[in-house]
Amino acid sequence: MRRDHRPLWLIKAQDRLESGWAQHFLYPQFDYIGNGCHIAPPWRIRVSGSDISVGNYVHMRATKTQHIWLTTWKWDDTPPKIKIGDFCLLTPGVRISASKHIKIGRGSMIASNAYITDSDWHGTYDRTHEAGQAAPVTLGENVWVGDSAIVCKGVSIGDNSIIGAGSVVTHNIPANVIAAGAPAVPVKDLDPEVPRTTRMDLFSDPEDLAAKNEWLYGYVSQGNSLWGWIRAHLFPHKGS
């Protein structure tokens, strides 16, 4: 469908439904979840394992065919952890799997179908056991992991760095670079002196942001009606 035909009251009703669902069914699955998180739709988020925490104002966006998976798997006596910092963004198809520790820094963005793991999960010769093939992964603040990129075990990515789409990160990436390839290597330096606008800035005034979103919902839903929404689903035509 080329545009959203929902009337404003239906948009708000769906938001309330998703928020209520998240708080009742999804949030209890986390060891900690902060304030102001927006997870849509919450029934497309798969949480498996213990010690998974999410900071304040984290956004997760999944789709019917691309769920988001957050998984910890305990192989030994060390409890595995996933820690997602404040203001992060996770998009459809993201998978984060830990047997040791994965830490995502504040304001980081993980694009669709990216995979972050701290383990090989199976030994080279013993395919039934992890055999100690795990090492923690750390993403700094304001990191951007591109579409379908893979971040492998033992990797550290520095603040503000960007990982190109489809890249495979097998070694540490310094701060303030664009890295790409398989294996990923820095291909361009970013000027640390150039001012940045980050997701931390976006949420610096949550009340103002909420008011702007309210205005935007009202603007895009002008002229929408319940019948128009039903008609667009049952009898779509060119331009709908």
Contact (Cβ atoms closer than 8 angstroms) between residue 163 and residue 145: yes
For the chain, the farthest-separated pair of C-alpha atoms sits apart, in whole angstroms, at: 64
Q: For residue 101, indicate whether it is catalytic.
A: yes
Q: Which helix (H) or strand (E) holds 131?
A: none
- The first and second tokens of residue 72, run together, are 């910890």
Find the catalytic residue in 101, 122, 129, 233: 101
Cα separation, 137 vs 124, whole angstroms: 21
Which residue do the tokens 């949420």 mark?
Answer: 203
Q: Give the angle 120-135-148 at the CA atoms, nearest 5°.
A: 55
* DSSP code for 13: H
SS3 content of the chain, % helix, strand, coil (to 5): 20, 30, 50
Tell me which residues are annotated as active site.
101
